[in-house]
Amino acid sequence: MSATDFTTEQIAIMDKIISRYPRSRSAVMPLLHYVQSIDGFVSPRGIEKIAEILELATAEVTAVSSFYTQYLTKPVGEYHVGVCINTLCAVMGGDAIYDSVSDHLGIGNHETTKDGKVSLERIECNAACDYAPVVMVNWEFYDNQTPQSVNDLVDAARAGNPPAPTRGPNKLRTWKENSAVLAGLDDGLANEGISAGEASLRGLKIAKDSK
């Protein structure tokens, strides 16, 4: 087996993902997530394999992977930290959080610590403005953060004991593990924790109470 090959089991999972769609090319996005769950990023061999099994040009697969920011073109840390620096989070302290954790880790945007544990990204929006400032780690929410809390978070992650997300599962999964979930593979944790907190539901409550 060459370095560019995927295992028989991995190919079988790719085929299972494709089978969910009436048109095979619709599986491009979950297959890209699945490649990230194996290689840690959208690798050249992953693009080639997806193009091959979907009978697409590699340029078509690359076009999708380069359009969406969740697909990364180089390996990231076991814990990928995204700090929202868009307007509301920035005003509430997002810029200060990013500057603090960047200095604390000694890395910048799209860089990874030398031990390979943590990588950092400036995120334009984490879609959680009601909990600003928000940080995501492997796409799990950490709400109402401060510079110190994020520094503590990355320290715990590097030590192999990250705190649980504010919303979502009771344990933070690794980058590769969560990439598999985004590919559509069930990790059995969908019902853990809360998905919508008090701040998100407040508007709904006000609407109901006003009737």
Cβ neighbours of residue 96 closer than 8 Å, sequence gap 6 or more? 147
Q: Report the CATH number at residue 134.
A: 3.40.30.10
Contact 110, 119 (CB under 8 A): yes
* Shared-domain flag, residues 32 and 61: yes
Q: Residue 61 maps to which CATH number?
A: 1.10.10
Which has more pLDDT, 199 or 121? 121
Query: pTM for this structure?
Result: 0.89
Q: For residue 211, is pLDDT > 80?
A: no
Residue 180 lies in a domain: no
Is the same domain home to 90 and 158?
A: yes
Q: For position 4, what pLDDT does the model report?
A: 63
Strand ranges inside the chain, DSSP E: 79-84, 111-112, 118-123, 135-137, 140-142
Between CA 76 and CA 47 the distance in angstroms is: 17
> Residue 128: which residues within 8 A CB-CB, separation 6 or more?
84, 134, 141, 143
Residues 57 and 21 in one domain: yes
**Residues 13 and 54 occupy one common structural domain:** yes
Kindly report, residue by residue over 58-70, the tens digit of the pLDDT: 999 999 999 999 9
- Cβ count near 128 (within 10 Å): 23
Same domain, 59 and 130: no
Q: Distance (Å, rounded) from C-alpha 124 to C-alpha 174?
A: 22
Domain boundary among 46, 67, 88: 67
Q: How confident is the model at residue 1 (pLDDT cuts 50, 70, 90)?
A: very low
pLDDT grade for 3, boundaries at 50, 70 and 90 = very low
Q: How confident is the model at residue 210 (pLDDT cuts 50, 70, 90)?
A: confident
Assign 3-state DSSP to the chain and report helix, strand, coil percentages, each to 5. Answer: 50, 10, 40
Residues 41 and 108 in one domain: no
Residue 205 has what pLDDT?
Answer: 84
Is the same domain home to 19 and 90?
no
Residues 94 and 140 occupy one common structural domain: yes
Domain with 103, as residue range(s), is: 79-173
Higher-confidence position of 21 and 209: 21
Distance in angstroms (rounded) separating the CA atoms of residues 135 and 146: 10
Assess whether 107 and 63 both reside in one domain: no
Q: Do residues 173 and 138 lie in contact, with contact meaning Cβ atoms separated by under 8 Å?
A: yes
- State whether 94 and 165 are in the same domain: yes
- Better-scored residue on pLDDT, 183 or 186: 183
Return the minimum-mean-pLDDT range out of 76-85, 101-110, 193-202: 193-202
Nearest Cα neighbor of 36 from 173, 152, 143, 183 is: 183
Average pLDDT, the chain: 93
Q: How many domains is the chain built from?
A: 2
pLDDT confidence of residue 27: 97
